[in-house]
Amino acid sequence: MAAEEETEKAVYIRVPRCIGGDEWLMLNLEKDVATPAGLERNMKWPLMKCNQRSTQVALGSMIYYLGGVTLRGFFNTSDHDDVFCFDTRCPNKGLKKTIPMNSHRWNALAAALDGKIYVFAGRRSPYGEVFDPDRGLWAILPEPPSDFLGTLLSDPSNARLLAHSHDDLYAYYPASNSWKSLNVNLYHHWRDTPCVIVDDVIYFCFTPDPDDHTHCLAAYDLVSNQPLDIKWPSDSDFASVFATIPDYGYNLWDVLHHLGNGKLYAAMSARMNDTTPETEPEAAYAVLCLTLKVHKEPAGNTVLVTEPSSHWIRFLAAAPARDFLIL
């Protein structure tokens, strides 16, 4: 029996506005357009708390803002434990304040798993906690073996979270409320490279080399504990996909997400080179997206890449997109 197709997730970006704080836009990767998600732009409260070093995480149709800092003067800030959310299905209801965390946090790591939100770091102690929206309760998590860096990955197929220290990859299992070392050191990728996990394989996305675009993707199999080879399409049209991607000399990607059905989405945001009318208070920015499908061969150590495409999606804003989420 063929595997059931997943419903592909939608991509949301948070862009700063000159007036009224930030706004969420939904990206249409088929038409290369961005449309407002509906959250009122003129809601000044509590956007100041949400905009400053808060952490955003998606759960179901909800987007949560976790912690952050509040400006108390030009050089004076104060971190906080407030949590706000809004429902993308009912955006006109605006932001809603919900149960605060047990600890003040800013620039924290967060991920959703099995209907709950997990947040780590952003504060020394307690290091981590979990929110159950159904119970309206935050609970303290056991201290991890080490501080973490980079990305916190949700691995629902194995009912665990993945986080990396300076020398080891760790898994947190909610069922046993415990941490386990996976004895894998991916620090050289994990520290500053967007990554995502699909079917026990962690993928890392890099800026394509102008002379060899095949270096833009790496894969590591957590079952066999080995890196995998990447097999790209051989047709000549494939190279044209990467011709639109600029060479900045550093890893330009902000995020790497799995939209479903093995489809990966890498994205970054930058200002467009074209001019904007002087009457327009906001400038032209864009999101550059690279999408492709990955499939690990049942036997062997190779990942097949198909259906690569690139997209430039333009929007007006005060600065590049700040956050990327999938719902």
What is the CATH number for 66? 2.120.10.80
Distances in Å between the alpha carbon of 228 and those of 193, 243, 327?
17, 25, 29
User: Are the beta carbons of 152 and 162 closer than 8 angstroms?
Assistant: yes
pLDDT computed for residue 45 by the predictor: 45
The total domain count for the chain is 1
pLDDT computed for residue 263 by the predictor: 96
Sequence-distant (≥ 6) Cβ neighbours of residue 296 within 8 angstroms: 199, 201, 219, 221, 228, 302, 303, 304
pLDDT computed for residue 110 by the predictor: 96
pLDDT computed for residue 1 by the predictor: 43
Is residue 276 in a domain? yes
pLDDT computed for residue 252 by the predictor: 74
Is residue 144 in a domain? yes
1 CB-side CA count, 13 A: 3
Q: Tell me the residue range of the domain where 76 lies.
A: 11-326
pLDDT computed for residue 256 by the predictor: 95
Is residue 313 in a domain? yes
pLDDT computed for residue 2 by the predictor: 47
Is residue 220 in a domain? yes
Is residue 4 in a domain? no
Is residue 6 in a domain? no
Is residue 104 in a domain? yes
Is residue 27 in a domain? yes
Spans in the chain with pLDDT lower than 50: 1-2, 42-45
